[in-house]
Amino acid sequence: MRKALGVTVLAAWPLLGAGAPPADFVLGVAKTLSTGDAAAFREAFDPAMPGLKALQRGAGALIAQAQAESRIGFDRMSGEGAERLLELDWALDITQRGGIPGLTHRAAKVRCRLADRGGRWVIASFEPADFFAPPPDMGALWDMFHEVASALNNGRDYVPQFLSFFDPAFAAKAHLEQAVRGAMASGELQPSLDLVTNEGDDRVRTVGIDWAMDLVETNGNGSGVVKVRKNDRITFRVARIGKKWRIESFEPADFFQPVLP
């Protein structure tokens, strides 16, 4: 079955076929990623390669979830005959498909070994092995911001929860706590969020949010009157700390300051 599939794939991808120069072969592998051709990507690897299943599982998830465009610099190529050793500067620009939008930049010094199998090249080893893994879960990132907004809405008892979403090293945490408590003293905060931009690498990202926040005063009959409405685009810098996203900084820095009606 694999042999029959391989013939079909190689007919569609001449850069992966017999006689292709090693550099062209690598560019062909990158092209299978950008076009989402998981079958062609699998055919580019030696079935006996150590760690192949984990690499292809990650790449399959990447292809299913995102568009991955490559930029490759060829640093060094050595070897002769049936083997080549390549050192590459490989960069991926990964655009999320569906769900929470995001653009992830990934770059690595890649070392791979090509082997001639029946007159065509295959990848016999590849490092780093997790290079083709899918990007971080953007749903978890967006959930964090909703929890930040929820803590603001829930009142002064939830200020510690609000602050827990900030990096422990966040320098202005005490000032931020004072500002948020001051804003809450004037009424109920009702935030609404709209994601505008989400870009970065696997660990650090810049997230732009159109953030609206109403300061509401509750009447004796239980109805609320909007005293102040505040709107701004906030740019957050967030980082993964362990398995969680945390806010490192944001601009404008005075957004959460109390505003009197």
Do the bridges between strand 204-218 and strand 224-241 make them parallel or antiparallel, or are there none, so unpaired? antiparallel
What was the pLDDT predicted at 96? Answer: 93
Shared domain for 209 and 153, answered yes or no, is yes
The residue-averaged pLDDT of 25-44 equals: 92
Identify the domain boundary among 127, 151, 173. 127
User: Mean pLDDT over residues 90-95, rounded?
Assistant: 96
Query: Does residue 121 sit in the same domain as residue 163?
Result: no
Given 127, 160, 178, which residue is the final one in a domain? 127
Residue 226 amino acid letter: V
Does the pLDDT at position 10 exceed 70? Answer: no
- 75 assigned to some structural domain: yes
Q: Assess whether 20 and 104 both reside in one domain.
A: yes
146 lies in the same domain as 246: yes
**Considering its fold, how many domains does the chain have in total?**
2
Residue 182 belongs to a domain: yes
Boundary of a domain, candidates 127, 161, 188: 127
**pLDDT tier at 187, thresholds 50, 70, 90:** confident
State yes or no: pLDDT of 12 exceeds 80: no
pLDDT (tens digit, 9 = 90+) per residue, 49-84? 999 999 999 999 999 999 999 999 999 999 988 999
Q: Is residue 132 in a domain? A: no
What digits encode the pLDDT tens for the residues 234-254? 999 999 999 999 999 999 999
Task: Tell me the residue range of the domain where 219 lies.
Answer: 138-251
Structural domain contains residue 214: yes
Q: Tokens 């990934």 correspond to what residue? A: 106
pLDDT above 90 as % of the chain: 74
- My answer on whether 92 and 177 are in the same domain is no
Same-domain check for residues 148 and 101? no
Judged against a pLDDT cut of 80, whether residue 220 lies above it is answered with no
Same domain, 229 and 156: yes
- Binning pLDDT at 50, 70 and 90, where does residue 118 land? confident
Counting residues of the chain whose pLDDT is more than 70, the rounded percentage is 90
Q: What's residue 79's pLDDT?
A: 94
Residues 65 and 121 in one domain: yes
Say if residue 10 is in the same domain as residue 106.
yes
Within this chain, do residues 123 and 142 fall inside the same structural domain, yes or no?
no
Residue linked to tokens 């810049």: 206
pLDDT at 99 over 90: no
Q: Does 257 fall in a domain?
A: no
Burial 154-176 (b: 16+ CB within 10 A, else e): eeeebbeebbebbbeebeeeeeb
In a domain, 133, yes or no: no
* In a shared domain, residues 147 and 231: yes
Contact 34, 68 (CB under 8 A): yes
Confidence of residue 18 (pLDDT cuts 50, 70, 90): low
Same domain, 64 and 163: no
- In the DSSP assignment, the letter for residue 129 is T
